[in-house]
Amino acid sequence: MNNQIDIKTLIEGTLQDSLFAVLTTESGGQPHASLIAITPTDGCRRLIFATYRGTRKYRNLVDNSKVAVFIDRREADASSTQEGFVLTALGHAEEIGGTERAAALKAHLKRHPALGSFLRSENCALFHVTVESCQIVRGIDDVRWWTLDDSSFT
């Protein structure tokens, strides 16, 4: 990873390839982590996910929209010759409503068809995270940042 284009390509590929991530939220000084199914949209600028309205995750998102989305791309086998990394996307989450909700639901169902009954539930809320910056960690001394201000992130 020698330049910003390489970082951008790595981020976009990771978000496109990953079906699941860990969402971290916070409320009242208490962090909370949840496994979520993700669907990237808008050239990876946004990540769609869903949650029930009665969950701690939902309450935290209402209290504080700042989130981190964590994706682990390390190999489970330590003897693997492939280089691994972790990606953390930072941004703000917002519930999707109105006419945008139908398109988001369709995209999320297409990527995660097994979640159909959950996603169609009246108690299910769809959110998108607007990604503002990403951190790639390949090792203790190899940490790179990408912000939307660095270049066009499409």
Question: Could you tell me which residue, 49 or 154, shows the higher pLDDT?
Answer: 49
pLDDT for 152 beyond 50: no
Give the chain's domains with CATH numbers.
Answer: 4-147 (2.30.110.10)
**pLDDT digits 0-9 by tens, 34-71:** 999 999 998 778 999 999 999 999 999 999 999 999 99
Token readout for 12 is 């976009």
pLDDT in tens, 62-108: 999 999 999 988 765 455 445 688 999 999 999 999 999 999 999 99
Q: Pick the residue with more confidence: 7 or 144? A: 144
Q: What percent of the chain has pLDDT over 90?
A: 64
Percentage of the chain exceeding pLDDT 70: 87
Q: What pLDDT, on the 0 to 100 scale, is given for residue 81?
A: 47
Does the pLDDT of residue 148 top 80, yes or no?
no
